[in-house]
């Protein structure tokens, strides 16, 4: 059986929300954010949507095309 994340079920602190925003703007994958904050990936996605933070990568070109 999988282990529960460290902060599962706890209220989010202001510091955790700030860290989430910082990691998301740095294009950090959701799984790594979850590991860093001790939360599940679902909790990360839910909180990001709640505080209007995008988890989509910002530096990828569509279809892996490179400018010539």
- CA nearest to 21, candidates 46, 51, 56, 57: 51
Task: Quick: pLDDT tens for 14-30.
Answer: 999 999 999 998 889 99
Residue 8 to residue 28: CA distance in whole angstroms: 21
User: Residue 56 — pLDDT band, cuts 50, 70, 90?
Assistant: confident
Q: What is the overall mean pLDDT for the chain? A: 86
User: Residue 3 — pLDDT band, cuts 50, 70, 90?
Assistant: confident
66 has pLDDT over 90: no
64 has pLDDT over 90: no
């Amino acid at each position: 059986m999988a282990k529960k994340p460290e902060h599962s079920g706890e209220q989010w602190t202001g510091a955790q929300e700030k860290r989430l925003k910082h990691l998301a703007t740095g294009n950090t994958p959701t799984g790594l954010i979850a590991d860093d904050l001790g939360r599940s990936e679902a909790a990360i996605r839910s909180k990001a949507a709640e505080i209007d933070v995008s988890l989509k990568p910002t530096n990828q070109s569509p279809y892996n095309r490179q400018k010539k």
